Amino acid sequence: MAQQSAHSERKYPCERCPLQRSKTFRDMTSREIGFMSRFKRGELAVDKGAIVLAEGARNPHLYTILFGWGFRYKLLPDGRRQIVNYVMPGDLIGLQGSLMGEMQHSIETLSPMTLCVFERGELMSLYREHADLAFDVTWLTAREECMLDENLLSVGRRTAIERLAYLLAFLVSRGRGVGLFNGAPPQLPITQQHIADTLGLSLVHTNKTFRKLVDRKMLRPLDRGCVVLDVEGLMSLARWEGSNEDTRPFI
């Protein structure tokens, strides 16, 4: 198996971490980079549609996403699915499984994805040796909590069209934050089934709501996805202020 002594076969060594290139992410000290490089176990590249983490599993790894999109979801025994959030580059996933024992949700990719792999068991040494990084882990978890609060508000209290408007604005806002569109009109790789399962709506009703936004020219449909044309309009329709993130940590 690949050893981390030389890291020779790494496509993305920590010193040249692709996330560092984006000015969204905070700079790491060289000591931190050195630690991360030892903490890192390898890289994982998965296809579109792959299940990276499965509910109920005990996976000994943690991951940071380097490239690609995905979503995090839960299932009811009879198959009803709820997508609870989306994951993007810079997101740390699998932490909850590390802390609670087994995974309480699954994560599936929406595009090919590259992940940075860490050892669950080494997490405590990160806490011991790098308080700043430990703080960042907590920051990331608190941010996730914050997004979930917003999602819950949306599903619980917004109407169908407001929910959809919120979701689209939210995804574009997050995607822009990590430079996923770089200037191009924001394109989302999610099907209407994904949207329905995020908003707590049926597929049919989602489609009808979707059409309304297309008619209003806030949205253009695309094969298995859509292009968002008017983020401002969507935000005001959803009565969403947006989240103000300037720089953020990552692991």
Q: DSSP label at 218?
A: S
Answer for which of 46, 117, 160, 227 binds DNA (CB under 7 A) is: 160
137 or 172: whose CB is closer to its own copies? Answer: 137
Specify the residue, 45 or 222, whose C-beta has the smaller distance to DNA.
222
Report the distance separating Cα 122 and Cα 130, nearest Å: 12
Residue 93 has φ and ψ, to the nearest 5°, of -125, 155
Q: What whole-number distance in Å separates Cα of residue 112 and Cα of residue 210?
A: 26
Shortest Å, Cβ 209 to DNA: 7
* Residue from the set 41, 61, 158, 174 that interacts with its own copies by CB under 8 A: 158
Please say whether the beta carbons of 23 and 248 come within 8 A.
Answer: no
Total binding residues for DNA by CB under 7 A? 22
- Locate the DSSP E strands across 121-246: 187-188, 219-222, 225-228
Would you count residue 154 as binding DNA (CB under 7 A)?
A: no
Q: Assess contact for 120 and 60: CB atoms under 8 A.
A: yes
- Identify which of residues 141 and 191 has a Cβ nearer to DNA in the complex: 191
The structure tokens 């499965």 sit at: 54
Query: What distance, in Å, lies between the first and last C-alpha atoms of the chain?
Result: 24
- CB nearer to DNA: give 134 or 160: 160
Contact string (CB under 7 A) for DNA, positions 216-245, x = contact: -----x-xxx--------------------
Residue 201 binds to DNA (criterion: CB under 7 A): yes
Among 31, 74, 205, 239, binds DNA (CB under 7 A): 205
CA dihedral (77, 148, 73, 205) positive or negative: positive
What residues make contact with DNA under the rule CB under 7 A? Answer: 159-161, 191-193, 200-211, 221, 223-225
